[in-house]
Amino acid sequence: MRRRCRPLSTELIGGDEKKETKAEPQKDYKIYGLIASVIIIIILMVVAMGPKWDISTNALLQFILVIPVLIINRHFFINAFKALRSGGTNMDVLVSLGSSCALIYSLFGLFMILISCEKGNLEHAEHYSMNLYFDSAGMILTLVSVGKYLESKSKRKTKDAIEGLLDMCPKKIIRIKTDKDGNEIEETVASEDIKKGDVILISKGEAASVDGTIILGSAVFDESAITGESVAVKKEVGDEVISATMIKDGFVRVRAEGVGEESTLMKIVKMTKEAGATKAPIARLADKISGIFVPVIIVIAIITFAVWFIISKDFVTAFSNGICVLVISCPCALGLATPVAITVGMGIGAKKGILFKSAESLERLKSTDTVVFDKTGTITKGIVSVEGEVSMDEVRETSPLAMKLLKEMGIETVMLTGDKKDKALKIAEEAGVSSVRYELKPEDKANIVKELQNEGKKILMVGDGINDAPALATAEVGMAMGAGKDIAIECADVVLMHSDLLDVIRALRLSKKTILNIKENLFWAFFYNVLMIPVAAGVMQPLIGLKLNPMIGAACMSLSSICVCLNALRLMGVNLEKNLSVNTNDLKENISKNDDKNYNGIGCECDLPKTERVEKDMITFAVNGMMCAHCKKRVEDALKAVSGVVSAEADLEKKNVSVETDGSVSEDVLKAAVKEAGYEV
């Protein structure tokens, strides 16, 4: 099935099979490299912190162990070099600087240890052995790599979602053509071979591969995958058929009008891909700060070395002070400021059933000023109904309270639905949304999100169906209900496992608290560094005799990291449950008010409007002239094309046909259809 769709899917995804094949070994290499880095760092820490049976051997072993970690994570240094060469700085520069500082000073210490041991000065060697930071040099790179791997893993979900959409392509398509003698010929072709104007046959259990118009027959269509509407729709000659909708009963001939990239399904695929590729990257505060911080620190370190070398004429003292400035300014705390708070925040969310796929989604959520909701399965329960039964599309118990709290937060709410106007207004009124858009197609939802974005609004889109995928991908943050379709979940940035709209409130609160915590962390990340840099540079030595050696500088650096971590842990006490208890009396009162406004009481099963049930009748009669399987098929097709026919089965041996109808078709009408097909009854 996927093979038939491959030419289109690779074009939309932006690559070919060869490129995807080549990417796999590279992906495996990164995973294996990351695992190797973690294992080596653990061993390195044991060697560095364990008993030193021989000082020089232990120091050399630490150096040997850190080499493969540096090689595996060399991309940090390469990217940092490229950034510096282009005149900018970023987090890679910060990470590389921190690792390089620790490595350079450790190499200096290793050199001094080897010299001291050679001269027999073990006390001097012992002193320098306490100032080796090979493990820190590798640890910085490894921890950041782990974070980046987890982040990139979540970003690959968009591509998987697109391929999931393409899996909806039917396995085969029956195209009907007429030969020169006027006889109809059925041929099976691949989906990409269908052209505008072709006539195709779609039977029970099959999905439409194109958009088009019914020219023969009738069928009951399940359009929930595209429109989000749970009630099956009966369509007849002249009605529109949408690609990816499934026939539950009957059969139709459809004249293709929207084929290939013009079909609704492929428009969804295309919009999902484009939206995922054009999302504006979040401006990282740490990168902005590093643009000033990194060059300043490097200049201060160079000046420190130069001044002390001129004053003391002692290279070791000058080098030690210069390195001390770099070590105390190591961006470990800066590197931890965001990910630690994000990790804690995402952990809190996970315990509440709110799954953030990336740090960006948690950060972007804070800026939301408009929440756009799908209706079916999101604001409502969206219980799928059986053909002929009424739709139990009840508003979720928590929806009105969620809308009320969003309004109190100054956030606008918008409901999008494919429903007709009357039903849409009922649900909107009952749920308490600010505004509603109805009778929408999937592309309309994404366009409305874009329209709101053009007005300067920051959009959170909440949905659960395949039809919501483009809008979820277009919005600043896409949020999917956990009970929804897999493709919607894949396209979303956040998943609500409990399918509870109050979790939207919890997620927004958590985002605001987490971002505030990050800003606090950035303050602590710089507080100790800025305070201690003058001391590290030796400014206080001539005044009060205070000299800060690199070991104390490293301790101060660690202290800022500890402060960052402790501050992040404060998030554990955040209260997300304020005013989130649902008062069922308020809900009943809200429903009662809607009843007074002549709404039909959708919230109560006993008040649901009744729909006409389909009564099925079986009619059997003889047919003469059926000689082969082709005759059998022709008779069955002629009968299935009659409005009101549910199914038809011809028997060549008994020379009769059994027709199941909805009770609205007479036997005479059925016999007339068979006669018109060229057979006697």
List, for residues 299-351, the tens digit of each pLDDT value: 888 898 899 889 888 776 787 777 777 766 665 566 666 777 777 887 788 77
603: in domain: no
CB 252 within 8 A of CB 216: yes
Predicted pLDDT at 295? 79
Assigned domain for 163 exists: no
- Cβ atoms within 10 Å of 594's Cβ, excluding its own: 19
Per-residue confidence (pLDDT) for residue 369, from 0 to 100:
93
Residue 455 has pLDDT above 80, yes or no: yes
Q: 412 with 456, same domain?
A: yes
Residues 6+ apart with CB under 8 A from 85: none
Which residues in 136-149 are b (16+ Cβ under 10 Å) and which e? bbbbbbbbbbebbe
Please return the burial class of 627, using the count of CB atoms within 10 Å of its CB with bins 0-12, 13-18 and 19+.
Answer: exposed
Last residue of a domain, one of 219, 245, 273: 273
- Please name the residue ranges forming H helices in 476-627: 486-491, 502-536, 541-544, 550-569, 584-596
Burial class (CB in 10 A: 0-12, 13-18, 19+), 28: exposed
Same domain, 476 and 366: yes
Per-residue confidence band for 160, with pLDDT thresholds at 50, 70 and 90: low
3-state helix, strand, coil in the chain (%, to 5): 60, 15, 30
Residues 225, 246: contact at Cβ < 8 Å? yes
- pLDDT tens digits, 191-234: 888 999 999 999 888 888 889 999 999 999 887 766 555 678 89
Most trustworthy range by pLDDT among 11-15, 159-163, 194-198, 519-523: 194-198
Q: Same structural domain for residues 322 and 364?
A: no
58 and 149 together in one domain: yes
User: Would the pLDDT of 360 be above 90?
Assistant: no
Rg of the Cα trace of the chain? Answer: 34
Write the DSSP symbol of residue 384. P
pLDDT exceeds cutoff 50 at 606: no
The whole domain housing 246 covers 170-273
Confidence label for 636 from pLDDT (cuts 50, 70 and 90): confident
CA nearest to 635, candidates 657, 620, 653: 657
CB contact set of 56 (below 8 Å; sequence gap of 6+)? 113, 114, 117, 125
Q: What is the pLDDT of residue 26?
A: 52
**Does some domain include residue 149?**
yes
The catalytic site residues sit at 374
The tokens for 674 are: 């068979």
Least confident of 152-161, 407-416, 425-434: 152-161
Q: What is the pTM of this model?
A: 0.54
**Does an H or E element contain 234, and which?**
strand 233-235
For residue 433, pLDDT over 50 is answered with: yes
Confidence of residue 625 (pLDDT cuts 50, 70, 90): confident
Q: Quote the percentage of the chain above a pLDDT of 90.
A: 17
Please answer whether residues 259 and 194 qualify as being in contact, where contact means their C-beta atoms are separated by less than 8 angstroms. yes
More confident residue, 226 or 390: 226
Answer for the pair 465, 377: CB distance below 8 angstroms, yes or no. yes
Pick the last residue of a domain from 273, 302, 337. Answer: 273
**How far apart, in Å, do the first and last CA atoms of the chain sit?**
41
Q: Which residue has the higher pLDDT, 525 or 142?
A: 142
Cβ-based neighbours of 512, under 8 Å, separated by 6 or more: 366
Q: Average pLDDT for residues 174-186, to the nearest whole number?
A: 86
Q: Which of 44-48, 162-166, 287-291, 432-436 has the lowest mean pLDDT?
A: 162-166
Note whether residue 43 is domain-resident: yes
Instruction: Tell me: do 323 and 363 sit in the same domain.
Output: no
* Tokens coding 497: 């496992």
Which pair of tokens denotes residue 167? 């899996």
- Burial of 527 per CB tally in 10 Å (0-12, 13-18, 19+): middle
For residues 138 and 51, give the distance between their C-alpha atoms in angstroms, rounded to a whole number: 20
Do 443 and 560 reside in the same domain of the chain? no
In a domain, 611, yes or no: no
- For the segment 78-127, what is each residue's pLDDT rounded down to a tens digit? 988 888 888 776 667 767 876 787 788 789 889 988 998 888 888 888 87
Round the average pLDDT of the chain to a whole number and report it. 76
Same domain assignment for residues 368 and 349: no
Three-state secondary-structure class, residue 461: strand
* Residue 253 and residue 292 in one domain: no
* DSSP reduced 3-state for 232: coil
Element at 148 (helix H, strand E): helix 134-155
The whole-angstrom separation of Cα 389 and Cα 77 is 65
CA 354 to the chain's CA centroid? 13
Q: Which residues pair with residue 164 across a beta bridge?
A: none
* pLDDT in the model for residue 614: 33
